[in-house]
Chains A and B, each alone.
Chain A
């Protein structure tokens, strides 16, 4: 798996998590992602992902007028979306534990060898 592919899978999961809370529209999602530290990702990246998730019936959308400005497309999770989110969380926690233990064990060892603390 290339780095970008891995990143996409993670972004998918993060979007599902953000949508899970409450109905959100694209711009809001992008803002939230950036607040969480994903500011290096261009905001538009979310739309192809949302399109695919909508096609796979993980999310549904509804268009609503906003008080000022353009109509917004609000997304919410479907039952399949919730399942996909749970599956992602499980995969992520497993990955997180594995990566953390690798880092903990292996880099500590290297730091000792190099005489660093």
Chain B
């Protein structure tokens, strides 16, 4: 969508509104509708030299809440996103593990992963909602968004540690079954990447595993292999983000 020329203050308000409504679970088309309508209004108001307060009032927060109250919650979208994210994380795990040999997961790992994913989703949504609703500096915003991400990372690690200490019943999958599951997981990830129109998951997947596989074919020492594979992983991910960032900057300028 071509963006209209707006003041930074108006643009920030529209961005905040977008994130606030989305993280409140509202319908995507309805969000697009009202944001576009307000964008058009702000555009005309700015041409007439009106300040943004004359449109959204003294409290943009209150105004955002007023709009939110008139919109329906989109439960079907939630029913769609949650399994996609949970399966996505599991697919990621499965592909990594299949490369190491036949799969074996304990009950604790399976349930723990699902619960952590759910906590992660709600944590991120609540944080986004909070951040868009409150006037915070960019630094504080960043720290707050990092919080649920790091908590779920810690939880994932914690699950692995507890899993070594306590034994729970586990599911063992044979060689052929593992490979089959790995292929299903890969198809799922590719499908999600096409749907989300982003290659980020596939790039991270390749960056994590491909260097180690290729290096294991060389005659390099094991230590050298390990270190270089980690370095290559970071380089690939870094280059990908750098490229995406540059592309985004270019698109912003061309508008």
A47 B37 Cβ-Cβ under 8 A:
yes
Residues of chain B lying within 8 A (CB to CB) of residue A27: 40-41, 44-45
Tell me the bound Cα distance from A43 to B43 in angstroms.
13
A48 B66 Cβ-Cβ under 8 A:
yes
Q: How many A-B residue pairs have CB under 8 A?
A: 61
Tell me the bound Cα distance from A30 to B54 in angstroms.
11
Residues of chain B lying within 8 A (CB to CB) of residue A42: 53-58, 63
* 8 Å CB interface, B35-70 against A: 36-41, 43-45, 50, 53-58, 63, 66-67, 69-70
Residues of chain B lying within 8 A (CB to CB) of residue A25: 40
A45 B57 Cβ-Cβ under 8 A:
yes
Q: Out of A30, A48, A55, A70, name the residue touching B39 (CB < 8 Å).
A: A70
Q: Is the interface of B mostly helix, strand, loop or mixed?
A: helix
Residue of B nearest to A72 (CB): B40
- Nearest Cβ on chain B to A59's Cβ, whole angstroms: 13
Whether a CB of chain A sits under 8 angstroms from the CB of B159 is: no
Whether a CB of chain A sits under 8 angstroms from the CB of B86 is: no
What is the size category of the interface that chain B forms with chain A? 20 to 34
B36 A44 Cβ-Cβ under 8 A:
no
Tell me the bound Cα distance from A43 to B57 in angstroms.
8
Whether a CB of chain B sits under 8 angstroms from the CB of A71 is: yes
Whether a CB of chain A sits under 8 angstroms from the CB of B4 is: yes
B43 A26 Cβ-Cβ under 8 A:
no
Tell me the bound Cα distance from A111 to B214 in angstroms.
97
Residue of A nearest to B4 (CB): A70
Q: Is the interface of A mostly helix, strand, loop or mixed?
A: helix
Residues of chain B lying within 8 A (CB to CB) of residue A71: 36, 40
B37 A73 Cβ-Cβ under 8 A:
yes
- Nearest Cβ on chain A to B5's Cβ, whole angstroms: 10
Known contacts A69-B44, A70-B43; decide if A44 and B70 are in contact (CB<8 Å): no
What is the size category of the interface that chain A forms with chain B? 10 to 19
B40 A69 Cβ-Cβ under 8 A:
yes
A26 B55 Cβ-Cβ under 8 A:
no
- Nearest Cβ on chain A to B231's Cβ, whole angstroms: 49
Residues of chain A lying within 8 A (CB to CB) of residue B70: 48, 51-52, 55
- Nearest Cβ on chain B to A38's Cβ, whole angstroms: 12
Known contacts A69-B40, A70-B40, A71-B40; decide if A47 and B4 are in contact (CB<8 Å): no
- Nearest Cβ on chain A to B248's Cβ, whole angstroms: 23
Which of A30, A45, A51, A69 has the most C-beta atoms of chain B within 10 angstroms of its own C-beta?
A: A51
Would you list the 4 A-B pairs with minimal beta carbon distance, nearest first?
A: A42-B57, A70-B40, A51-B70, A43-B55
Given contacts A27-B41, A48-B67, A73-B37, 8 further A-B contacts (CB under 8 A): A26-B41, A27-B44, A27-B45, A44-B41, A47-B38, A47-B67, A70-B40, A73-B40
User: Which residues of A pack against B, CB within 8 Å?
Assistant: 25-27, 30, 42-45, 47-48, 51-52, 55, 69-73
User: Which residues of B pack against A, CB within 8 Å?
Assistant: 4, 33-34, 36-41, 43-45, 50, 53-58, 63, 66-67, 69-71
22 A-B pairs with C-beta separation under 8 A: A27-B41, A27-B44, A30-B55, A42-B53, A42-B54, A42-B55, A42-B58, A43-B41, A43-B50, A43-B54, A44-B63, A47-B34, A47-B37, A47-B67, A48-B67, A48-B69, A51-B67, A55-B70, A69-B40, A71-B36, A73-B33, A73-B36
